Amino acid sequence: MSSTTRPTETARYEIVDFAQVPPVACPCGEARRAFADVPDYPGTVHQTAISTDALAHYHKRLTEVYYILECGADAQMELDGQQVPIRPGMCVLIRPGVRHRAIGKMKIVVIVYPKFDPADEWFD
């Protein structure tokens, strides 16, 4: 199933309904990934449900932006070993090489550039 809807063949836009995108397991919990099948868009956008046992990992090529939609009052991001409190409405830029994980249950949007590649998930 394609993650995007193209209303007409000549449309210059794409629409995704994350409810229609099948979730996949990831080190953080469960991700719904959009726009991977759009050739002229250089990245992907994910809606991710973070579990409480997210694994620390890093990417060698990918840059990620986490936008926090929902989280508990004690939610944090661990970034290169430093724990940083977060709350809804915050945005975190994670460059290649930064070891990271979310701490606590949360719902986020992740913007990934270039397109997400599961082969670029590294664990210590």
pLDDT of residue 4: 58
Residue 86 domain flag = yes
Pairing of strands 76-79, 100-103: antiparallel
- E strand map for the chain: 24-26, 29-34, 44-50, 63-71, 76-79, 82-85, 91-94, 100-103, 106-113
pTM: 0.90
Has residue 36 been placed in a domain? Answer: no
End-to-end CA distance of the chain: 34
Would you say residue 101 lies in a domain? yes
- The strand pair at 82-85 and 76-79 is best described as antiparallel
35 assigned to some structural domain: no
* 8 in a structural domain: no
Q: List the domain range (segments joined by +) for residue 92.
A: 48-117
Does some domain include residue 37? no
What is the band of 51 on the pLDDT scale with cuts at 50, 70, 90?
confident
Cα gap 99→82, rounded to integer Å: 10
Does some domain include residue 24?
no
Asked if the structure places residue 41 within a domain, the reply is no
User: Residue 11: which pLDDT band, with cuts at 50, 70 and 90?
Assistant: confident
Domain count for the chain, please give it.
Answer: 1
Mean pLDDT of the chain, nearest integer: 93
Q: Are 108 and 76 in contact (CB under 8 A)?
A: no
| CATH at residue 92 | 2.60.120.10
